[in-house]
Chains A and B, each alone.
Chain A
Amino acid sequence: MSFDNLEQLREAMPTYAKDTKLNLGSVIGTLGQHLDEQQHWGTVLAVAAAVRSETTTPALAAEARARLSPEAADAALGAASVMAMNNIYYRAKHFLHGVYDDVRAGLRMQFIAAPGVAKVDFELWCLAVSTIAGCESCVGSHEQVVREGGLSREGVNDAIRIAAVIHAAAATLDAAELV
């Protein structure tokens, strides 16, 4: 089943996942001091798309869209889409220890050049999505770009916390449907 909003997601959390229930409120539902509203909710939308959970994605996407401009929402979903390709491609190249680094990717990724939002915001969302794919070098390289773009260490940490909590919520509720 799926839910309409964050409150319903929290209520649906089983007793054994009370930590995730509370984290959903404090990490997702509450804007911290280190990310602005667009950075925060764009991260939520991008990660919600990246985990593509039947139970969890719709509610988080609705919450995020209510707080984002259409352009920012598109950019966040675009980050999830392009990183769904790049995380796989570049992670595989990293697995192969540089032996294929001289072979051209030959993949279109023009969206990165003009995502329609500030570069640092888009790169932050790429960073958050990369944590879901578990691509070490992607996380490292996007982190470098957002830090050079002026975002604080705490801001990066908050984006990673958002990704972690959404992953836990989706894993918990998706699994609860099966077990």
Chain B
Amino acid sequence: MITIGQQFPEFELTAVIPGDLSAVDAKKPEDFFTTVSSEDNEGKWKIVFFWPKDFTFVCPTEISAFGKLNAEFADRDAVVYGASTDTEFVHFAWRIQHEDLKTLPFPMLADTKKELATATGVLNADGVADRATFIIDPTGEVQFAMVTAGSVGRNVDEVLRVLDALQTDELCPCNWRKGIDSTINAGELMTANI
């Protein structure tokens, strides 16, 4: 699996569009689909998360948890992409029939050829994606990678907390230290709560 410091692979995948599907004036199935590529949303942070199979039990809970925090991610200049190896038609069927997914505010990517799952190293022995989450910075570099086994659900608040921490760089030159008259007490540091 790719990890921090590596470039997230390039991709171009068919996806189910975000938002309330019942509000779409669709003439054909393709009206519910779009293409999402690594070139989209240039300059934004990306949250990419995988789940193994549509229609399984743990997944909708955590997918809708990402949905509920979508505005928080947007406030932090981050876009969310969810992905599995199911087709866009399966994604669509799952989205319209599941109460928690009907208005999902981010696209569901169909990695049907398993290209992205393979390139990120999250494809498992069962031929589906592990429950992996990546935070990618605006330059395309992975800044956070997490994967859990089996049916362990994700804590989306933790993903948001990590993104916040990644974005609180001390960018102000006010932070420049003189480093001459600093008197750091080593004993105090050793006993401090870390």
Give residues in A with beta carbon < 8 Å to B: 82, 86-87, 89-90, 97-99, 101-102, 104-110, 112-113, 123, 126, 130, 135, 137-138, 141-142, 144-145
Contacts and interface: CB of A to CB of B under 8 A. Distances in A.
Contact of A101 (B167, B173, B177): B177
Contacts, number: 71
Nearest to A144: B173
Given A102-B189, A137-B176, A110 B184 contact: no
Nearest to B185: A99
Main secondary structure of the interface of A (DSSP, over half): helix
A105 B174 CA distance: 12
19 contacts: A89-B174, A97-B181, A101-B184, A102-B189, A104-B168, A105-B170, A105-B175, A106-B165, A106-B168, A107-B170, A108-B167, A109-B171, A113-B169, A113-B171, A137-B174, A138-B172, A141-B175, A144-B173, A144-B176
A106 B177 CA distance: 17
Given A105-B168, A108-B167, A109-B168, A98 B173 contact: no
Interface of B: 77, 164-165, 167-179, 181-185, 189
A87 B182 contact: no
Nearest to A126: B172
A52 B89 CA distance: 56
B168 A107 contact: yes
A110 B171 contact: yes
A86 B172 contact: yes
A108 B166 CA distance: 9
A98 B189 CA distance: 14
Contacts of B179: 98, 101
A108 B174 contact: no
A123 B177 CA distance: 18
Given A138-B174, A145-B173, A108 B164 contact: yes
B183 A112 contact: no
Contacts of A142: 173-174
A112 B171 CA distance: 7
Given A87-B174, A142-B174, A98 B168 contact: no
Given A101-B182, A110-B167, A141-B173, 4 more contacts: A99-B182, A105-B168, A109-B171, A142-B173
